[in-house]
Chains A and B, each alone.
Chain A
Amino acid sequence: MEVKIAPHVDEIIRALGTTGTTVNQAIIKEELTRLLEFKVPVEEAKRSLLKKYGNIDIPSVKKLSELGAGERNIEVTARILEINTKVVGIKEQERTIFMGTMVDETGARSFTAWEDFGLEKGDVVKVTNAYVRMWQGMPEINFGARSKVEKLDSSALEPLLSKDLERPVLLAELKEGEPAVHTVIRIMESAQQEINTKNGPRTIVTGTAIDSTAKLPFTSWVPSPELTAGNTVEIKNAYMRSWQGIPTINMGEFTSVSHSETPIDDSDIVMVMDHVPIRLDKITDRDGAFDVSIEGNIISVRPGSGLITRCPECNRVIQKNICRVHGLVKGRNDMRIKYILDDGTGALTVVLGADLTQKVTGYSIEKAREIAGADMNLSVVEEKIRGKLMGLSMRMRGNMTKGEYGITLVASDVEVTEINPAAAAADLVKEMEGAIHHSPGQGDSGPW
């Protein structure tokens, strides 16, 4: 395919002209043609010529949601949602840096400005030659002395103030790593905790929050009297961090915690408190879930279920009494079941420990050893469990995490669910016959 290169050549000459560089048009044309012959993409070819002749790096224009780790020389246009100063020690010198959150129409990101650009909350800025670093597991925009910050007319860019950020979000909607979290929660339980940090001991508040959609753990790095069980609080500018695979609300020094005018009542949270099972397609959408209830059929019992052996030192599952860390050890017997739970809308792996294994199978570890026999045939136990469980309807509670091996729920409780099929069928028939416009049997003598 023939690319028309004349306009691109003109563009390069123009761009070089802004830096006072003049280059022979023929040379540019020749080099550009050459690069294109090598099938270098046009944009990349232009960038490389600008760099070569004018030492110009064209920043790539990005939206906040597109930013990935390690990107450099980017240009973003966003509104400062929140900005705070922080004094840090760099090379034994005290220095003031600016940390905050910025938003555009695609989302919010935290940022760090290493210089004073005179930024204020509400400013709309175009930042050129910024870069992205991972900070607490999320991409963060950084800009400093070599970046250019241009304030734009803020009233002309109203859409940049994402309306969604004004609205408190529900706990079930919160994603890992989200900055600038605005939510209204009721504190279920909370406790002060002494922890050791690099800078000595510190008091933090940890606990559980609840709303009409979910429960989530929280950590406040700053003690607040509002974070007391029973209170409903509105939280602004918190951030989400994953703790052991579960999204956790984090409140730091810039987070505001205030008493909410509209309390969350018991009736609002009844679905969560009563452990009404959530459909799997809804739950597997989330990044993780805390103490959720789910229901479905066991459609597969996975290998490695039943009687297992663990290393007495590190608890790893071992085979033939050889731990890959501790070598030859005297293994300790344990039981577990890993199965796939599926409700027709979603699927995940559930892990049951020894107690729950006994609850659903009736096998104690001793009984399982008996089944395995003198030669410890573990597959017999696994087969027995598969035969007992495959197909059953189960309800369970636990924490759900997403990882390399898929979605997993470690159960804290499990029970076989029984329904009265006749009653359930009658209910559904009533519902269907109420809704069916054309009664079956009439007018359906067609091809089907």
Chain B
Amino acid sequence: MVEREVAWRVFAHEFIHSDYFFHDGDEFSPNYLVTPTGARVNRLYFVGVLTEIDNLGAGEDMWRARVSDPTGAFSVYAGQYQPQASVFLSGLDVPCFVAITGKARTYEPEDGTIYTSVRPEELNTANDSIRDRWIVDTARLTYERIGLVRSAMDSGLKGDELTDMLVQSGASPKLANGILRAVSHYTDLDKYLNTLSGVIVDALKNLTSDDQYPSPGTGISHAMEEVARSKPAEDMVKETPARYSIEDTQPAQSPEPAQPTQSPQPARSTEPAQSTQSPHIVQSTEPENARVAGKEIDDGTTDSEPARPEEDKPEPDEMVYELMGIMDKGNGVPVTELVDESKRSGLTDEQVDGAVKTLMSEGRCYEPRIGVLRRV
């Protein structure tokens, strides 16, 4: 009897920051991606918003999808050996909630960078209630792993002694093994764990501020109706003469929290497509590389603190949301124009940026093309 691989729960933020792939034994033994919190991921399960779907097929049938959670986005590739997944993906309208079980894959171009993606095994449409539950469950499990990694780092123990300690603390032997690997592989782990904790807290806080947000149990169709019902409030738009250029601010093209790139993570420092200047030109022609587009964009100036919804004043989110609706002539709204317009309404760059992120992570807006936003 071969034991089935567990479907780990990891956030996209952690998944895309994983670059340690290993496999033990012969060619038939499974591959594992070890994440910074020690998850030994062969299989994973996640629920998020499908924001992009492209047929890459030049001759062969290959679908690429991006599925966003509140912390980032998973790249999903379905090819000829996943005919059901391909059929399923090709029949979906973006955006929608999807639940995916799949295998962790990596792509390693010659420069030593590692990109992670998912090869789907089973997919289904989901709803906000399933998605919210996934966020809570994943946050809980990730938080537990963070605690275990921290205790491993603080313990000063090594090898079997460390494994014993972790198992005593409630880790499964597999997780304990993953944590040992993570601790010895990842540099600056402490910093990353802090960042990840912050990202998780933000994701959870988004769930707790549920104004205007469909209550659990309602399906996606209901959510969409609600969005459709909300009327644009034109009186919110005020004239502000502020001048705005895209280079000055974070375009917020990705629901990921800001990641300053002045001192990029060592393993990623050579990532060719990572631009700190003009995210709009970040576009790769390589299918496997295409996932880089739109990811990890930064102006390199703003504080790295991820945007938080301001519970007292939800107006910026709503203003941006309304503007997005008003300005959309059918093809979405270019980010630059949206930012300009929002600033005329009295918002700051940071507020616009935060609002867009919040809206994205709540699944209320998405990015049909790079640099263009659209309401759900």
Using a CB–CB cutoff of 8 Å, the interface residues on chain A facing chain B are: 280-281, 284, 297, 299-301, 340, 342-348, 386-387, 390-393, 402-407, 418-422, 424-426, 428-429, 431-433, 435-436, 438-448
Contacts and interface: CB of A to CB of B under 8 A. Distances in A.
B125 interface: yes
Contacts of A347: 4-7
Nearest to B262: A445
B195 A421 contact: no
Contacts of A443: 191, 194
A418 B6 contact: no
Interface in B199-241: 199-202, 204-205, 207-208, 210, 216-217
Contact of B188 (A281, A424, A448): A448
A444 B140 contact: no
Contact of A299 (B7, B17, B136, B217): B7
A425 B303 contact: no
Count class of interface residues, chain B: 35 or more
B305 interface: yes
A344 B135 contact: no
A448 B6 contact: no
Contact of A429 (B121, B204, B266): B204
Contact of A403 (B1, B8, B9, B126): B1
B55 interface: no
Given A391-B130, A421-B216, A344 B305 contact: no
Contacts of A402: 1
B99 interface: yes
Contacts of B216: 418-422
A345 B172 contact: yes
A342 B6 CA distance: 7
* Highest count of chain A CB atoms <10 Å: which of B5, B6, B175, B205: B6
A428 B204 contact: yes
Given A344-B138, A422-B216, A448-B265, 14 more contacts: A346-B172, A387-B125, A393-B130, A405-B1, A406-B2, A425-B136, A425-B204, A426-B208, A436-B201, A441-B303, A443-B194, A446-B191, A446-B263, A448-B188
B269 to A, nearest CB: 8
Contacts of A438: 194
B133 to A, nearest CB: 5
Q: Which 5 A-B pairs have the closest CB atoms?
A: A440-B198, A441-B305, A391-B99, A421-B132, A390-B124
A299 B122 contact: yes
A433 B266 contact: no
Contact of A345 (B5, B17, B141): B141
Given A299-B7, A391-B130, A444 B194 contact: yes
A421 to B, nearest CB: 4
B20 interface: no
Contacts of B205: 425, 429
A178 B133 CA distance: 41
A55 to B, nearest CB: 42
B197 A440 contact: yes
Contacts of B174: 281
A440 B99 contact: no
B129 interface: yes
B192 interface: yes
B358 to A, nearest CB: 15
Nearest to A439: B198
B197 A342 contact: no
B195, B198, B204 — most chain A CB neighbours (10 Å): B204
Contacts of B208: 422, 425-426, 429
A448 B17 contact: yes
A391 B129 CA distance: 11
B122 A300 contact: yes
A447 B101 CA distance: 30
B371 interface: no
